[in-house]
Amino acid sequence: MASEVNLAQLRALVAVADTGGFGAAADELGISQSAVSHAVAALERSLGAPVLRRRTPCRPTPLGEQVLPHARTAVASAAAVRAIATRHSGGLTGTVRLAAPTTVCQALLPGLLRDWEAAYPQLTVRVFEGEDAELPTWLEAGTVDAAVLVDAGSPPPGAVTLGADSMHALLRRDHPLAGQESIHVAELEDDDFLLSEGGCERHIREAYRRARTRFAPRHRIRDLNTLIGMVHAGVGVSVMPALALTMLPPDCVLVPIRPAVHRTLTLTGPTGRPWSPAVTGLLAGAAVTVPA
């Protein structure tokens, strides 16, 4: 008779599905790769069929896709039980998986991580960098426990607004417009425009729409660091969030654009399921550190 499915097996399945491999899952769980392999194999014996395709990266089988949401729920519920017990005894512990866009990881998260570490020394925050559009999906699917979302709309109670991040023109310091207090987007027409195809594209297009100015990007760049490097090399100009300032080389500058456009950054848990006590406590701590 097949053995019963247990939490360790489900935790191993979730970890391999999220990380794409048994070695990375072992690092995630803090156990040996052999232990992960045995747990997944035992789960497959209990279910009578494979749940993972052993490729690079590993991906769930059709059965695994059906089991995975329930596995996530079970793992999250177990973590919530542990967190409730810890909170009852006076502290926060466990792990919170937090997703955020690149610029937030660069500029805002380091300070928050230091504050959280000081306030909750037994709590581990693991950061996952992603693009704006994929973060809500990660959050609602249970891949992460909390996320910094861009223009979140109507976030659930307990969410924390981290601020408004305005859009700026990115120029070389020797560009004729670099010394201005602000730049109308029409003034950028004489330069080749490098468009970031990440989450900021809609904000850039909105600025040009408001200005009723033709928008014809010459280059389309996926990676933000590549875009900055190309502007630095003199290939053209771009528009990006003010938080990108920490990523710039010394001979590049950011200048506010007109019409002004900004994105709102919100730190939140999921809308489709209850937050764990660890997430609730973490966001309550963030609310204290973010200026009103």
Question: Phi/psi at 289 (nearest 5 deg)?
Answer: -85, -20
Structure confidence by residue, pLDDT tens digits, 232-243: 999 999 999 999
In angstroms, what is the C-alpha Rg of the chain?
22
Structure confidence by residue, pLDDT tens digits, 173-232: 999 999 999 999 999 999 999 998 777 888 999 999 999 999 999 999 988 899 999 999
Q: Are 283 and 146 in contact (CB under 8 A)?
A: yes
The Cα 286–Cα 229 span in angstroms is 33
Q: Hey, what are 267's tokens?
A: 């730190």
Question: Phi/psi at 244 (nearest 5 deg)?
Answer: -70, -5
Q: Where along the chain do the CATH 3.40.190.10 domains lie?
A: 165-263
**How does the average pLDDT of the chain come out, rounded?**
89
The Cα 225–Cα 229 span in angstroms is 6
- DSSP-assigned letters across all residues of 79-124: HHHHHHHHHHTT---EEEEEEE-HHHHHHTHHHHHHHHHHH-TTEE
The Cα 133–Cα 198 span in angstroms is 8
Structure confidence by residue, pLDDT tens digits, 56-100: 899 999 999 999 999 998 888 887 777 676 665 456 778 899 999
The Cα 273–Cα 206 span in angstroms is 33
Question: Phi/psi at 55 (nearest 5 deg)?
Answer: -130, -175
* Fold (topology level) of 1-90: Arc Repressor Mutant, subunit A (1.10.10)
Helices 22-29 & 33-47 angle (0-180, nearest 10)? 110
The Cα 96–Cα 81 span in angstroms is 14
Helix %, strand %, coil % for the chain, to 5?
45, 20, 35
118 compared with 194, residue with greater pLDDT: 194
pLDDT of residue 78: 82
- 236 residue type, one letter: G
Burial letters 195-217, b for 16+ CB under 10 A, else e: bbebbbbebbeebbeebebeeeb
Altogether, the residues listed in the chain come to a count of 292
Place domain 165-263 in its CATH homologous superfamily: Periplasmic binding protein-like II (3.40.190.10)
pTM, 2 dp:
0.69
The residue assigned the tokens 């899952």 is 25
